[in-house]
Chain A
Amino acid sequence: MSEYTPSQNIPDRQPPATSVGIIGWVCKNLLCPWYNAVLTIVSCWAIWSAVAPFWEWAVTNASISLDPEVAKQHTGAAWGFIRDMWPVFMTGVYPAEERWRPLIALCIVVVLVSLSLVASYRRSRWLKILWFVSPIVVFALVYGGGITGLPVVGTHYWGGLMLTIMLSIVAMLAAFPISVLLALGRTSDMPIAKPFCVAYIELIRGVPLITLLFMASVVLPLFLPAGMELDKVLRALVGITMFFSAYLAENIRGGLQGISKGQYEAADALGMSYWKKTIVVILPQALRIVIPPMVNNFIGILKDTSLVGIVGLVDLLQIAFATTSNPKWFGRLEEAYVFIAFWYWILCYALSSYSQYLERKMPSASK
């Protein structure tokens, strides 16, 4: 043998206890070095001072009685108010005896969404057809009249979470085709259509949503022939759709630009016409890339529909004023806001987690 005896396979060992396990973790993330420990203490204090009063208000001192007199004896939250007004938060002043209709509509949407989450159903043609039919069914159910034989419930009765969700979904559905056209126009080299699309997108992105809502609610009626009236909800919808089509178009443009030139050339080489090429080859790829930003866009719509309250609709946010001006539960704004915030937050957080999940799942764009 030579002087150097090579070591045989050294077996794996556990790392020293100070670097892994609970002790290692606590030391590394909370205590060492000394300023880290200070930060930990300050953070604990911050959490305590924020959570403790809220906990006291929302749980310890809260009452859940439906009787406002009982609630008044508690210093904390009166959750009975929410229990009492729950249907109003959900549907606004929708007639009580007709509330089963939005409920069924909600069930339809929930079933469709959960079916779509199952991967094997997602590709089936039936589901797509159902998705296309569902807006009509939902509208017929909620509005009534016509062939349904149900009593008509006009849009001024609509409100609450129902209105918020309907506004955002319909605005998204309506903005989508417009934005695809705008994005195609902006990426094209047509001398008239391109500047027009650029101007539209930049104009809309440059102004606040509230001015568009005002425009839709005060100026739009002036543009229409005399005697023609647009529904209030529809007018707000026009404003929101105009607003979001511009933002959506910018996202889709990003997707279109992310597609390599080779794809266009391959489609040309197959002898496809412009529209065929766009619809069969380009758009499916572009849209797949932009699904996460589109979900973020939808979160934006969902949050910004709260502005329709300013032009007189009673959406989820405005319900807070409507319910707390009720003499029975006068001035219970805190409970109302916490409840409303809970709904907005759950919806937006779920959607944003979904979009992050999609982004992670997506194979990084190959060039």
Chain B
Amino acid sequence: MTTAHINTATHLGDSPVVIDIQGLNKWYGQFHVLKEINLQIRQQEKVVICGPSGSGKSTLIRTINRLEEHQEGRIVVDDEPLTNDVKQIERVRREVGMVFQQFNLFPHMTILDNVISGPIHVRNMPRKQAVDLAHSYLKRVGIAEQANKYPGQLSGGQQQRVAIARALAMQPKIMLFDEPTSALDPEMIKEVLDVMRELAEQGMTMICVTHEMGFAREVADTMVFMDKGQIVEYAPVKEFFTAPKEERSRMFLEQILNH
């Protein structure tokens, strides 16, 4: 069953594999959510995971930083295997940033405090340095002047950009995006996607769960289509959009592009 995936993004050549998932199986109680997942992601690769809701996409990327435990299989992130060891999990999480659908900013902290919370408490960075860093990232996502406001005072799009800045401030090697635009009003989606696009251009390794197919076509190297807990199709982005091999991915694409 398990077929070694050849690397589809030719320009990545043989850059090192940073995420290696083999034979991953996960259950919620009796429900089999992830079935025999095999996935290698190389440095600087941009992977977009798509699929109908309930197909296990979010669960998959949440196992990568161990927000979800898995029962079978092996996940190695940046040469660090994910086990029950708390220290190991923390080491992995330090290198993996995550952006959530619901932003999950800390409402009791200012924007600035949100962004410096990781560097200060986890990376033991001097406060001054962390603040400088935070300001530079806030500038990058275009909300430098809001630093002293609270999350509740910002729009959804702005909050999501702060969330990206907060994840970036940890200077991660890999970024996970869990449907970052699904909770946003249409006019705010673009500002978030622009930030993500810029991030991709700078060579960040990214894994995105998203339904924004325009973004995927433009940015992704590799497309992963999931359904019912398994990877149905794994293909270079061009191939996926022009000639999907699987019936299911073809139907999904038709639905999502022609709605």
Contact = CB atoms under 8 A, between A and B. Distances in A.
Interface string A1-33: 011111101101111100110000000000000
A315 to B, nearest CB: 47
Given A4-B235, A6-B245, A7-B231, A13 B32 contact: yes
Interface in A91-148: none
B113 to A, nearest CB: 30
B257 to A, nearest CB: 21
Nearest to A5: B3
Interface residues of A, number: 15
Interface in B208-241: 228-235
Given A6-B232, A7-B231, A19-B27, A12 B32 contact: yes
B30 A10 contact: no
Contacts of A3: 6
Contact of B234 (A4, A10, A16, A19): A4
Contacts of B36: 7, 10
Contact of A10 (B5, B230, B246): B230
A315 B27 CA distance: 56
A19 B27 CA distance: 9
Contact of A13 (B1, B25, B29, B231): B25
B132 interface: no
Contacts of B153: none
Contacts of B27: 15, 19-20
A16 to B, nearest CB: 6
Given A7-B231, A10-B1, A19 B71 contact: yes
Contacts of A13: 25, 32, 35
Nearest to B38: A7
B1 A15 contact: no
A9 to B, nearest CB: 7
Contacts of B234: 4, 6
Contacts of A7: 1, 3, 36, 230-232
Interface in B1-18: 1, 3, 5-6
B3 A20 contact: no
Contact of A20 (B1, B5, B30): B30
Contacts of A20: 27, 29-30
A13 B72 CA distance: 12
Contacts of A10: 1, 35-36, 229-230
B30 A14 contact: yes
Contacts of B233: 6
A12 B5 CA distance: 23
A10 to B, nearest CB: 4
Contacts of A5: 3
B196 to A, nearest CB: 27
Contacts of B1: 7, 10
A15 B71 CA distance: 8
A334 to B, nearest CB: 45
A4 B39 CA distance: 13
A218 to B, nearest CB: 50
Interface of B: 1, 3, 5-6, 25, 27, 29-30, 32, 35-36, 71-72, 228-235, 245-246
Given A14-B30, A15-B27, 13 more contacts: A2-B245, A3-B6, A4-B5, A4-B234, A5-B3, A6-B232, A6-B234, A6-B245, A6-B246, A7-B3, A7-B230, A15-B29, A15-B32
13 contacts: A2-B245, A3-B6, A4-B3, A4-B5, A7-B3, A9-B228, A10-B35, A10-B230, A14-B30, A15-B27, A15-B71, A19-B27, A20-B27
